[in-house]
Amino acid sequence: MPITILMPALSPTMTEGSLAKWLKKEGEDVIPGDVLAEIETDKATMEIEAIDEGKLGKILVPEGSEEIPVNSPIAIIIEEGEDESSLEEIDAQELPEQTTALNTSVESKEHSTDIEIIDSTADPSNLSNEVEEENPSVGNEERIFVSPLARRLAEKQSLDLSLIKGTGPNGRIIKSDIEAFSSKDLSVKADVNEKSYEYFPADNMRKTIAKRLTESKRDVPHFYLKADCLIDKLMDVREQLNARANNEEYKISVNDMMIKACAVALMKVPNANASWDREGIKLYKTADISVAVALDNGLITPVIRDANEKGLRLISEETKLLINKARNGQLAPEEYTGGSFTISNLGMFGVKEFNAVINPPQGGIVAIGAAEQRPIVKNNVLDVATVITCTLSLDHRAIDGAVGAQFLDTLKSLIENPMEMLL
């Protein structure tokens, strides 16, 4: 019986991916453990392996295809003893509802380079009607045949389908027709002011960032708390620790110490180590700190697990390793998901203070500004100290103002008296 290979969910937040490259060709033998293809997620490029033995009978989705919904069929494996004729015996109605749409798209490859994937959330009862969907006609106007994907793209861009010539089977308007028309429309606008901007299509990471942060600001009731923290003692402890390093065996950063301070503060104020979950609150038993890392094409948050139980040296080593993997696109899903709290530090860019957007589903994030010399009053005497501003963004559904204030006060105390976090 032929085995259908589905687009895997490589992380809890993954809803779709891109098929970057097929590493096996149709007709090649496969055994469990063979790498079949490379999948691009919103965070990294991952490999998918075969778990069955047989032969790659048919590739349903060609390499380079984007926005493939999770659990959509992408290929079929023929088991030992079967031949290619068994593919013809597959009843399309017995496969997942995506299979029919994908097979239709692959067959249309003979007429067009456009591969279209029907939205998996569509009502299956309407699927066959959607493939030959037509616009409501007025009077005796000619009917316009358009694929569902092309229709959605046209609606997003407010394009008039009657102005677009279809190149698909029977004159059907397909994705490539929409893209070609849009490009032509942009070129006309560029004639007016061709140097006004340069357009860069969003990749999967940027699309995911846009979607999740929009949802966060729209759905999460943020509130903000701010405190100035004196870090002269912290800088002294850091200098002493680094002085003990043998030939730069390790080097502790201010950010490493902030990770440790946040983790310890979360353990001291457990009600702040929380997130909202539909109808209740999750209280986390460990402090798993996500660290915001800027990439050329976006942002990712690798996680330092059980940071409250780790020493500064181990935190420093893990942070450096995860940052390097993040910048090389090598993070595994378990390395950037599941954190309970996030740190975002823009101090190295000279940013004095800022309000960070909560990283869902977490309940809080601390934004760390630049260290600078500021005048302070201490014991009724004017003095100068090294100060950073920490701004908490908290989800009011899970964390109340008093709890947030207690957490920030604890964090400030640990930063200003760093020996406490080492106990």
Task: Tell me whether residue 121 is in a domain.
Answer: no
For residues 302 and 158, membership in a common domain is answered with: no
Looking at residue 314, its pLDDT comes to: 95
Matching residue, tokens 């004729």: 85
Q: Which residues contact 213 (CB under 8 A, 6 or more apart)?
A: 357
**Dist. CA 367–CA 357, nearest whole Å:** 9
Task: Tell me whether residue 120 is in a domain.
Answer: no
- Which among 76, 110, 144 is the end of a domain? 110
Task: Tell me whether residue 215 is in a domain.
Answer: no
For residues 304 and 392, membership in a common domain is answered with: yes
Task: Tell me whether residue 402 is in a domain.
Answer: yes
For residues 152 and 104, membership in a common domain is answered with: no
Looking at residue 88, its pLDDT comes to: 57
Q: What is the pLDDT along the chain (423 residues), one digit of tens a residue?
A: 678 888 888 777 778 888 888 988 888 888 888 888 888 876 677 888 888 888 888 888 888 888 888 888 998 888 776 666 556 555 443 444 433 333 333 333 333 334 343 343 344 444 333 444 444 443 444 678 888 778 888 888 888 888 888 887 778 888 888 888 877 655 555 455 556 778 888 888 888 889 899 999 999 999 999 999 999 999 999 999 998 876 667 889 999 999 999 999 999 999 999 999 988 999 999 999 999 999 888 899 999 999 999 999 999 999 999 999 999 888 998 999 999 999 999 999 999 999 999 999 999 999 999 999 999 998 899 999 999 999 999 999 999 999 999 999 999 999 999 999 887
Residue 325 near residue 337, CB atoms below 8 Å: no
Instruction: Return the amino acid letter for 280.
Output: G
Looking at residue 110, its pLDDT comes to: 37
Structure tokens belonging to residue 218: 């729209």
Looking at residue 145, its pLDDT comes to: 82
Looking at residue 15, its pLDDT comes to: 80
Looking at residue 86, its pLDDT comes to: 57
For residues 179 and 241, membership in a common domain is answered with: no
**Dist. CA 293–CA 287, nearest whole Å:** 19
CATH code assigned at 392: 3.30.559.10
Task: Tell me whether residue 207 is in a domain.
Answer: no
Looking at residue 245, its pLDDT comes to: 74
For residues 313 and 344, membership in a common domain is answered with: yes
CATH code assigned at 179: 4.10.320.10
CATH code assigned at 25: 2.40.50.100
Task: Tell me whether residue 169 is in a domain.
Answer: yes
- Which among 199, 229, 246 is the end of a domain? 199
Domain count for the chain, please give it: 3
- Return the active site residues: 396
Looking at residue 160, its pLDDT comes to: 85
Domain that residue 56 falls in: 3-110
For residues 151 and 102, membership in a common domain is answered with: no
Task: Tell me whether residue 275 is in a domain.
Answer: yes
For residues 273 and 358, membership in a common domain is answered with: yes
For residues 373 and 315, membership in a common domain is answered with: yes
For residues 286 and 414, membership in a common domain is answered with: yes
Task: Tell me whether residue 192 is in a domain.
Answer: yes
Residue 395 near residue 221, CB atoms below 8 Å: yes
Looking at residue 153, its pLDDT comes to: 83
Looking at residue 4, its pLDDT comes to: 85
Cα distances (angstroms) measured from residue 301 to each of 42, 209, 291, 365: 12, 11, 5, 12
For residues 278 and 325, membership in a common domain is answered with: yes
For residues 403 and 364, membership in a common domain is answered with: yes
For residues 238 and 343, membership in a common domain is answered with: yes
